[in-house]
Amino acid sequence: MTTYNTLYQSVKTLFREHGSIETPDLDARLLICAYAEFDQADFIVSGDKSVDKSVEKNVNESVRRRLSGEPISKIFGMREFWGMDFKVTKDTLSPRPETEILIEQALKWIDRQGRRDDALTILDMGTGTGCIPISLLSELPNAKAIAIDKSATALKIAEENSQKHKMNNRIEFIESDWFTNLECRKFDLIVSNPPYIPNLDKESLPKEVRNHDPSLALFGGVHGLDPYKIIFSKLNTHLNKAGRAFFEIGQNQLSDIARLVDESSLQLCDSEADLAGIPRVVEISCGDK
């Protein structure tokens, strides 16, 4: 008889010995809880209970996938972000915790303006799962958003997520290569987590990123800066004069971003680092700070 405690110890050991799984204990617990339909309390009190055969089979299959480098989010087809669950597939980037910094910084700017209840217009570029605009709209009751992506399949997932979180009447989805299909629309807030990994860094990425996130959402050219060059060149056309733009950036990119901002006659207002001290989000305006 296999108990839940025995199964957990076995899976945890496999993940620890694998060496490249960053959170082996957590991943083991998540897999078991998902298939046993346990919450944390159930997991704690059920250690001596016998594991149902179907649960054990599903856990073992998912363990195989995890050991092959497939991330937990892609195994479950779901990832939590800003306290909400978002559907993810092979066509979408799995939302990262550091991207929540972008949400936080945008909301701080809105709060400084006293505009939480205003009918703000938001543009999210390269929306993927739609996690950024959906999260922002969950905090801004009267705002509306346009979410664009070059990938039609990613947009379908974003639409599904917007319906799940009852935001579909507040978000318009447009298939577009950056600003191409937006004509001359202007926005109060523009946000984006664009592809910013240099092409040459591909082989150094963890397998679960390299093999399971779409290249379209990862790589931004030789230096990882190509999307910013395109976006910054058109930002004055699409950002309201009193508006703000917030972008996630990669490691060691802040000085290059500052240079591109200056060359585009924009203003770098602020930057915010992640928990590791890496500058992660920049705030940009078309005018004064």
**Which tens digit of pLDDT belongs to each residue from 233-280?**
999 999 999 999 999 999 999 999 999 999 999 999 999 999 999 999
CA count, 13 A, side-chain hemisphere, 289: 5
Provide mean pLDDT across the span 58-62. 97
Provide mean pLDDT across the span 91-107. 97
CA count, 13 A, side-chain hemisphere, 247: 24
Domain boundaries, the chain: 4-68, 89-285
Helices and strands, counts by H and E, the chain: 11, 9
What is the third-level CATH fold of 89-285?
Rossmann fold (3.40.50)
pLDDT digit string (tens) for 159-193? 999 999 999 999 999 999 999 999 889 999 999 99
| Stated pTM of the model | 0.92
| Length reported for the chain | 289
What does the alpha-carbon distance between residue 166 and residue 9 come to, in Å, rounded to a whole number? Answer: 40
> Which pLDDT score, from 0 to 100, does residue 207 have?
86
Query: From the CA atom positions of the chain, what is the Rg in Å?
Result: 21
> Which pLDDT score, from 0 to 100, does residue 289 have?
57
What does the alpha-carbon distance between residue 275 and residue 286 come to, in Å, rounded to a whole number? Answer: 28
pLDDT digit string (tens) for 13-23? 999 999 889 89
Beta carbons within 8 Å of 71's beta carbon, 6+ residues apart = 94, 208, 209, 212
- Closest to 224 in 3D by CA, of 193, 246, 245: 193
Residue 80: CB atoms within 10 A of its CB come to 12
